[in-house]
Amino acid sequence: MMTPNKEDYLKIIFELGGTEHKVTNKQIMNSLQISAPSVSEMMTKLLKDDYIVHVPYKGVQLTEKGENKASILVRKHRLWEVFLVKKLEFPWNEVHEEAEVLEHVTSRELANKLDKFLDYPKTCPHGGVIPSDHGQFPEKNNLSLVHFGKLKEIRIKRVLDDKELLDYLSSLEIKVGQVYTVKEYGIYEGPITLEHDRKEKQISYKAASNIFVEEI
Ligand SMILES: [Zn+2]
């Protein structure tokens, strides 16, 4: 992956739920797979530009300006993903890179035409809500799998748009919409055991922290 730029950071904070609650540097590090000093450095820049607010020991949250900027990018990114999967039959784990490039050359008008052409999809292939053309559309389902209690029944609502994560989930046949019971949390951020239909699957803590679920 190329060194993430300012826009990538805004998008990741948005995806990690930064429109509603604080996102920690550790979460950003995990998701973008970069070092702590790079994250801090970029956070200083985003603070100076009024894209985020920072609460000591809690993390960062998007300002209205940050949320607007992120949601415009996320809208274009997710519309292209829907197009690639639905119309060009790309698998869901292979659209991120393409959408990453396309979002930067997409005008507002093109995004709106694409939206109409696709019949106004609500979510991307990874379960992310597609923001509307006029402003914010907060991401829902922001609670990750690592925050759930043992023996809870959950449905996977959304997974982070990340090639490695998607490849990993595909290899385990884990998809958006599936229902599992959380059987076991490994100690010290160990693997998490999910069960469905008497079959167990183990996923790493890192992957689980980028899988967003709802309790059912
Ligand atoms: Zn997506």
What integer pLDDT is reported at residue 134 of this predicted model? 80
Which DSSP state fits 88?
S
Structure tokens at 2: 């190329």
CA of 126 to the centre of ligand 1 (A): 4
How confident is the model at residue 78, as a pLDDT?
95
pTM: 0.84
Q: How far apart are CA 57 and CA 60, in angstroms?
A: 9
What is the distance in A from the centroid of ligand 1 to the CA of 152?
26
**pLDDT at residue 193 above 70?**
yes
Question: What pLDDT does residue 135 have?
Answer: 66
Residue 1 has pLDDT above 60, yes or no: no
CA of 124 to the centre of ligand 1 (A): 5
Q: What structural domains does the chain harbor?
A: 1-140 (1.10.10.10), 145-215 (2.30.30.90)
**What is the CA(77)–ligand 1 centre distance, in A?**
7
Which of the four pLDDT bands, split at 50, 70 and 90, describes residue 138? low
* Residue 34 confidence class, pLDDT cut points 50, 70, 90: confident
Higher pLDDT, 136 or 9: 9
Determine the distance separating the centroid of ligand 1 and the alpha carbon of 192, expressed in angstroms: 23
User: In the chain, what are the helix, strand and coil shares in percent, each to the nearest 5?
Assistant: 45, 20, 40
